[in-house]
């Protein structure tokens, strides 16, 4: 199959997808209620979409094409409110977070859909362990070559995105010591990690042709890269975020991505190189493990700093772009949390320290998702 042409989209347009947890309200474990939730949500006129995910205790919501993070927030809030009403009718709860803190992967059911059955046959138990919850952000690019240049520039900021969204410290009732343990599950898939270094669509198409000839991939969907081009939408898609605990933080992260992309496209601040990836996996690990307290190695200079300082410096750098895009309020929310050393992983740990019961942490996470 040939790579499809890169589609048209407005530069810096946004689309956001959130994978969400469905839990029962008895013991707050995951519950296979996605069909019931989809049936109720189909009756409500909403922007975007609500669709099933790999296992039957998950759903994915998405916005329409938006032009600002405030528009993203408006749409996510509307969908969230409808989800909460539907959940109440089913006597279940819905929430964010990158992992369910104590679910057991072997108890999950693969959702009955041809692609999910095919993935389950190929990946075995990894498919059920893929009951993890992420946020994807699409940003529109004016043409294919700009998309690839933006993708590789954006790769320097993958640690920022991981630390700011981290909300998966617990796996199978254990504190993993990671702020984002979710990405360790993604890394198990053979076509995960970084995209190949190609700065032109011709070079990328040649790579895609070679891969399809091997029979390993059939479409772009088979790549689980941290950032990948999405030619049918005319976007690049950033996939490393844990699903935040609130839609407000999800919209703020989209505004941060949009501000960075505006800086790249308008100011042309640096040219990415293959050598940027010498420290990519190290920086990625640091962000997953230590969150905002991670070490960040600048790929261009080799300078070591704290990730927290690097995020704050970058937010100052993109301030003009955030203001122009009406993203300043979201950036302010993120900056305040960085200055205070807070992210959702810390909130979850603090709740567990106080409550000593992960089920109660999940219950409070569901309340937080409702905006209470």
Q: What is the pLDDT of residues 307-342, one digit of tens each?
A: 999 999 999 999 999 999 999 999 999 999 999 999
For residue 173, the SS3 value is: coil
Is the confidence at residue 166, as pLDDT, over 90?
yes
Task: Tell me how far CA of residue 144 lies from CA of 32, 202, 225, 290, in angstroms.
Answer: 40, 9, 17, 35
Rounded CA-CA distance 371/248 in Å is: 9
**CA atoms in the 13 A half-sphere facing the CB of 106:** 0
Is the confidence at residue 169, as pLDDT, over 80?
yes
pLDDT (average), residues 66-83: 98
Phi and psi for 282 in degrees, rounded to 5?
-65, -50
Rounded CA-CA distance 68/13 in Å is: 7
Torsion of the alpha carbons at 4, 5, 11 and 15, rounded to the nearest 10: -20
The DSSP annotation for 308-335 comes to HHHHHHHHHHTHHHHHHTT-HHHHHHHH
Task: Give the model's confidence band at 221: pLDDT under 50 very low, under 70 low, under 90 confident, else very high.
Answer: confident
Phi and psi for 369 in degrees, rounded to 5?
-65, -35
H-type alpha helices, 56-156: 69-90, 114-123, 125-129, 144-154
Q: Indicate the average pLDDT of the chain.
A: 96
* Rounded (to 5) percent helix, strand, coil in the chain: 50, 15, 35
Rounded CA-CA distance 360/162 in Å is: 25
Q: Which two tokens stand for residue 167?
A: 């909300």
The strand pairing partners of 222, in sequence order, are none
Is the confidence at residue 82, as pLDDT, over 90?
yes
Would you say 237 and 134 are in contact if contact means Cβ atoms under 8 Å apart?
no
Rounded CA-CA distance 174/177 in Å is: 9
Rounded CA-CA distance 333/50 in Å is: 27
Rounded CA-CA distance 128/104 in Å is: 9
Residues 271-289: tens digit of each pLDDT = 999 999 999 999 999 999 9
Query: Quick count: other Cβ atoms within 10 Å of Cβ 281?
Result: 12
pLDDT at residue 283, as a whole number: 98
Residues 186-198: tens digit of each pLDDT = 888 889 999 999 9
Would you say 231 and 351 are in contact if contact means Cβ atoms under 8 Å apart?
no
Task: Give the model's confidence band at 352: pLDDT under 50 very low, under 70 low, under 90 confident, else very high.
Answer: very high
Q: Please, which residues have CB within 8 angstroms of residue 338's CB and are 6 or more apart in sequence?
A: 164, 292, 308, 311, 312, 315
Task: Tell me how far CA of residue 264 lies from CA of 9, 74, 250, 258, in angstroms.
Answer: 17, 26, 22, 10
pTM for this model (two decimals): 0.97
Is the confidence at residue 67, as pLDDT, over 80?
yes
For residue 49, the SS3 value is: strand
Rounded CA-CA distance 279/224 in Å is: 20
């Amino acid at each position: 199959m040939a790579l499809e042409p890169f589609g048209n989209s407005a530069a810096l347009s946004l689309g956001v997808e959130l994978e969400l947890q469905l839990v029962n309200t008895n013991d707050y474990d995951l519950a296979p209620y996605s069909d019931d939730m989809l049936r109720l949500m189909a009756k409500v006129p909403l922007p975007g979409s609500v669709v099933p995910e790999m296992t039957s205790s998950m759903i994915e919501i998405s916005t329409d094409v938006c032009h600002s993070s405030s528009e993203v927030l408006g749409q996510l809030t509307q969908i969230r409110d409808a989800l909460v009403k539907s959940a109440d009718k089913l006597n279940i709860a819905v929430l964010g977070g990158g992992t369910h803190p104590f679910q057991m992967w072997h108890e999950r059911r693969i959702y009955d859909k041809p692609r999910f059955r095919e993935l389950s046959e190929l990946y075995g138990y990894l498919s059920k362990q893929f009951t993890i919850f992420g946020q994807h952000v699409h940003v529109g690019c004016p043409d294919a070559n700009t998309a690839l240049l933006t993708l590789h520039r954006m790769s320097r900021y993958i640690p920022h995105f991981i630390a700011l969204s981290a909300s998966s410290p617990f796996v199978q009732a254990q504190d993993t010591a990671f702020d984002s343990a979710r990405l360790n599950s993604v890394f198990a898939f053979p076509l995960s990690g970084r995209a190949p270094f190609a700065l032109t669509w011709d070079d990328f198409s040649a790579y895609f042709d070679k891969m399809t000839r091997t029979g390993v991939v059939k479409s772009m969907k088979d790549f689980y890269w941290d950032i990948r081009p999405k030619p049918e939408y005319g976007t690049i898609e950033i996939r490393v975020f844990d699903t935040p605990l609130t839609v407000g933080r999800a919209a703020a992260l989209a505004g941060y991505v949009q501000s960075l992309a505006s800086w790249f496209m308008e100011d042309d601040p640096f040219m990415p190189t293959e050598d940027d990836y010498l420290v990519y996996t190290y920086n990625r690990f640091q962000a997953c493990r230590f969150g905002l307290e991670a070490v960040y190695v600048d790929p261009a200079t080799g300078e070591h700093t704290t990730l927290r300082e690097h995020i704050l410096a970058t937010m100052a750098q993109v301030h003009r772009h955030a203001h122009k895009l009406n993203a300043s309020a979201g950036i302010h929310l993120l900056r305040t949390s960085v200055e205070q050393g807070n992210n959702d992983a810390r909130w979850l740990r603090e709740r567990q320290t106080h409550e000593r019961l992960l089920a109660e942490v999940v219950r409070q996470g569901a309340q937080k998702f409702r905006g209470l």
